[in-house]
A and B are shown apart, each in its own frame.
Chain A
Amino acid sequence: MDDTILEMRRITKTFPGVTALEDVTLAVRRGEIHAICGENGAGKSTLMKVLSGVHPSGSYDGEILFDGKPMQFRGIRDSEANGIVIIHQELALVPYLSIAENIFLGTERRNRLGLIDWNLANAEAAKLLASVGLHENPVTPVIQLGVGKQQLVEIAKALSKKVRLLILDEPTAALNDIDSAHLLDLLRALRDQGITCIMISHKLNEITAIADSTTVIRDGRTVETLDMKSDEVSQQRIIRGMVGRDLDSFYPDRESSPGEEVLRIEDWTVRHPVQDRMVVEDVSVSVRAGEVVGIAGLMGAGRTELAMSVFGRSYGRDIRGRLFVRGREVQARTVAEAIDNGIAYVTEDRKRYGLNLIDDVRRNVSAAALDRLARLGWVNGNEEIKVAETSRREMNIRTPSVMAVVGKLSGGNQQKVVLSKWLFTDPDVLILDEPTRGIDVGAKYEIYTIINRLVAAGKAVIVISSELPELLGMCDRIYTLSAGRITGEMPVAEATQESLMELMTKDKELVA
Chain B
Amino acid sequence: MTAVRTEAPVSAAPRRLPGAGRLKVTDPVVGVWLAAAAVTLIGWIVVTIDGGQFMTQSNFTGILQNSVALGLVAVGQSAVILTGSLDLSVAYLISLGTLVAAETMEGGSVVTAVLAVLALSAAVGLANGLIVTGLKVNAFIATLGMAFILRGYIEDNYTGPAGDVPASFQRLGYDRIGFIPISVFLLIAVAAVLWLITKRTRLGHHMYATGGDEHAARLSGVRTRRTVIYAHVLCALCVGAAALFLASRLGAGAPWAGTEARYDLDSIAAVVLGGTALAGGRGGVAGTLGGVLLLSVLDSIFNQLSVDPFFKNVVRGVVIIAAVALYARPFRRRAKARDEARAKEKGALA
Whether A and B are associated in the same complex: the answer reads: no
Show the binding face of B for A, using Cβ within 8 Å.
Answer: none
Show the binding face of A for B, using Cβ within 8 Å.
Answer: none
